Structure formats: structure tokens, C-alpha cells
A = this chain, B = another copy of it.
Amino acid sequence: MNKFPVLEIFGPTIQGEGMVVGRKTMFVRTAGCDYSCSWCDSAFTWDGSAKDEIERLTAEDIFARLKEIGGNQFDHVTVSGGNPALLKKLHELIDLLHEAGIEVALETQGSRWQEWFTDIDDLTISPKPPSSKMLTDWGILDDIVARLREGDRLSHTSLKVVIFNDEDLAYAEKVHERYPNLPFYLQVGNDELEENQAPNLAQHLLDRYEWLINRVVESSKLNKVRVLPQVHALVWGNKRGV
């Protein structure tokens, strides 16, 4: 069996963002990313700072750990990263979870296709806006969306763009115009990753959220849209493992 680089397994908690916001879930965080976003809130997954914490686990190891921690208090697992779409054989884990009646969510920036994308119950593709300093490969993104459409998976898929400024919002409009039939989520960017007082962060992020709502309300290009904060950041601030 394949071994996957895993940095964290925790929960149950709630999904803090995107298409299944609020869903009771366990988290499996994989190591490694092909991007290096300027504002990455999980930089420890790829910048080497947590490399001693990476475990190499099989799908069965991961499943056993999930059951050990989560008992019978979950039926949903979120795989996050880093970019879990770097892992070719992740279907081994997805299949094992599905056999146990557990749903699987996964988030990736949309820089790589994997065949197992069509098995994910809640697939979030989150292309990165200009503030990240990354460049979107539109050809790859088009290809991913086309394959998901062919596989009749659009009802299991959403697009999410994190917004820090007006340039990001213009990028989001472009994404939404390009893929108008995909459920579209806008999320307030967290620009205070060093803030360690949860109440201060919450108030700041709620102010930013209000700003983003106002900008979306003004735009006739952003109608079929959902605008969300990261609710876990409102509750727990920048703490890891919750």
C-alpha cells in the first residue's frame, strides 16, 4: 500500500469554510504544496518548518487513526493540505472511507488533475487570486472543470476564491464568468496570521467580511455567489488543530 505524507489528523470539529461550512468532520492534513502563496495559512505544510512532524501513513493507518480519535462521532472526513492533489493514489483512502459510509471532502487549488477527483463528495477547487503572487494556469483549470462535467460531478464540486483586495475581486469575477455553472464561494482572506488573540482576530475578520459583502452587493457580475467568513477563525483564531 502507498504511504502518504501526513501532518495532522484531528477532530471531530466543524468545517470552517466553503461548500460544507459547519459540517461536522474530521481533518487529515497532507504535507507538500506546488504553490507558495504569500498569505498561506498552512505554510508549515510545505516550508520545511514542520518537516519533523510528517508521518508516512497508509490509507489503513489513517483510517485507524481517525477511528481512534473520532470514535463513532463522525461520518465525514476532510482532506486538506498543502495540496492533496499531489498524491496520485489517494483513492486508496477515499475508497476505504466510502466503504465505511464516510463522506469525503477535499480542497485543492486546481493546479493538477487526479482521476480520484470524481470520487470526492465535496470537492472545492480554490484558484489563487493575484494577492497570493501565484499565477493561475487556466488551461489546467479548464481541463479539470471539463473532466468533472463529463463525469457528471458538478453537483459535488464548488469553486472558492479567497479575497484580500479589489484586484482579487476582479479575478473572482473572471473566474465566475469563465465557469458560471459551478457553485461559487467568496471567502474573506485572513491577513492577520500573527494575531494570537481570537477576539481581536474575529472583530477584524468580521470588518473585512462586511467590506467583502458590500463589494459583492455592488457588483452585478457577482450575483449567483455565496460570501462566507472562515467560521473556525472567528471562534478559535489562528490556533492549529481545531
Residues of A at under 8 Å CB distance from B? 11-14, 20-24, 71-76, 185, 199, 202-203, 206, 209-210, 213, 216-220, 222-229, 231, 234-236
Contact = CB atoms under 8 A, between A and B. Distances in A.
A71 B220 contact: yes
- Give the one of A23, A199, A223 with max B CB within 10 A: A223
12 contacts: A11-B217, A13-B213, A13-B217, A20-B226, A21-B226, A22-B226, A23-B225, A24-B217, A24-B224, A72-B220, A73-B218, A73-B219
Contacts of A11: 217
A48 to B, nearest CB: 32
B21 A223 contact: no
B225 A206 contact: no
B234 A206 contact: yes
A74 B220 CA distance: 7
Nearest to A103: B224
A72 B224 CA distance: 12
Nearest to A213: B14
B22 A227 contact: yes
A206 B198 CA distance: 10
A21 B21 contact: yes
Given A206-B235, A213-B235, A228 B22 contact: yes
A173 to B, nearest CB: 13
